[in-house]
Structure 1
Amino acid sequence: MARADVLIVSLGGTAGLREADEELAASLRRAGARVEIARTQRPPELRTYAALELAWALNARRAAVQAIREHTPRAVLYSSTTAALLGPVPGAIRFDAPAAGNRPGRHGIWQRPVEARRFNAAPLLVPWSEGGLEEAPTPRAGAVIVPVPVEPSGPPEVKDIAALTYGANPEKKGLDRVLAAWARNGRAGEELVVAGLDAAAGGEWLERAGGAAAGAVGGTGGTGGTVRFTGMIPRDEYRALLRRARVFVTAPRREDYGIAQLEALADGCLLVTNAAAGPYAALPLAWALDPRLVGDALDVRAALDDPVPGYAARAAAAVAPFGRAAVDRVVAEALLPRLVP
């Protein structure tokens, strides 16, 4: 078997992370590299982040050891801080956000100090965004910023859905805030679609959002807009919903990157969001496109009733640096030469 140029040790804890790793591998291959992926086995669910991430890190180490023995790679790239924490050999580290930023207090009691040592010793850091790099501990290795590619998912469709949100992680994504805002903003005949969460779990979040949300929004009374929960759906169906939605609304408590928001902009949605903490790559784009739509009030009505002319075209231009062709240039011209000199 030919020796690999790059071995990606993929944590792959979510579908989004797995897709991001596949995208990076494909981009490296287009640049001429021989790439292998070591996939980490999912551990059982544990009660704390610290314990769960130790289990993930141990499994990532096992996957790396086996793949290094099999492929003898010229370079190893750990995809996520957790994958790198117990890595058996030095390697580049790719991450959306460091533990220094998203694991405060007891949640990162062992991860943060180990991460600091790893970031200092790594030959290269490969953050998804400038914001992710800014959160990284210092001293640290040099860096090449490589976004996750975002492309329009298809031709524009009729915008027959008033608003869409993604609720697969409702606490993190602030679904209660979104539902409360829709209770204030939604009107009869308008629908908010919540993707990634079923109706049973969604009912609990309607109650959490307050009486107005559970009534007018939940469809049990009142005159406001309605809510529809799709549950988990295939990715192509989700992107089809984006193409039909006029507004994408979200209120994350913290945003490590925000791929859903970037995809929404790529598919022609107006982005209504709060100014969440974290790297949040789409936030500066949202401010530039229409600052009225950024804030804790989540002014969906302004987006629906008074959209800025040309928003979709300007959004497409704003996400162009995240397109596959732009990312391929960064990978070929900046990343691969640093990984495999």
Structure 2
Amino acid sequence: MTTTNTQTVGAGIRVAGVVKKYKDSTALDGVNLDIEPGEFITLLGSSGSGKSTLLNIIAGFTSSTAGSVEVDGVDITNVPPHKRGLGMVFQHYALFPHMSVFDNVAFPLRRRKVAKDEIATSVREALEIVQLGHLATRMPSQLSGGQQQRVALARAIVFRPKVLLMDEPLGALDKRLREQLQLEIKRLHRDLGITFVFVTHDQEEALAMSDRIALLRQGRIVQIGTPEELYERPSGMYTAEFLGDSNIFAGIVTAGSLAYADGTQLEVAGGCPDGPCSVMVRPEHTRVSPRGTALDPGNNVLDGVVREVVYLGSERRAEVILNDGRAVLARMPVGLNEPVIQPRQEVVVSWRAEHGLVLPDERAAV
């Protein structure tokens, strides 16, 4: 965990053996998770993976079937939500439409019976943190979606909680505004030093914002680590395919070479014993060249035909259909020395053996 705040004020969280069962299903299946004080951790997963259920159990809105939750070493498993002292931001803001921005932010303090002059000071400070001090008298209906979400953030931090929980808070915003608020939330975390637990199904959002990511699938944590660890060193096929684009080559390995579907021998860089094996290559490590281009002997090479090329400014994204019919993705930087690839062009797809990551396929075991 990293934070530039001079003093970490966030609380550590321990989730131990948490199970959540419904009548016909299991939402969480023995989840264990330790969150460091002041850490920004993201619970990532597809719909139904259990990420929001886990967040709501930490918040106290949902009771667990088994297991416990501790905050700062104190068991809060059976503590009501309003007594846990945790900040919460929802996807749809949950602002009171009949209250001004000031009164919305002041609400948690008034419920705690804080003195009036202290409320005024705390609300002003919270609104300045989210850069909305000039809109204190506005009503929610007079604000944009991004401004409303910042008001929700101010309301969640005004009483200085040690933990801030966020359930897909950017999901209702457009792409540009979402990216802007990602930066603001990262700044907020750095400045406040409190513990952030963030839920999203958006992999790019998780990679951009988190100290660590806990990837969930069917109520279990598949892998937990830094964004770099999950992207560069996924522990299995599910992580590799969920985070970012990936090209998977499956075959039989003999003496360090993988026999691919069309009989081509692909060199495998260590870690794969003889037998069935899958190798992942990220699109940014995959090169597409016109057929007949001289390539370094250290490259694995497969023939194909370009189906589509998309220009994205700093790079081109190419989809190539190999001889066996499968599609391979490549992301290539735009530059003077890069060949221009066109649809229907005959090409070779290549990558260096060290850029291929050997993966176990744990999907059948889940």
Q: TM-score, normalised by structure 1?
A: 0.26
Larger helix proportion of the pair: 1
Q: TM-score, normalised by structure 2?
A: 0.25
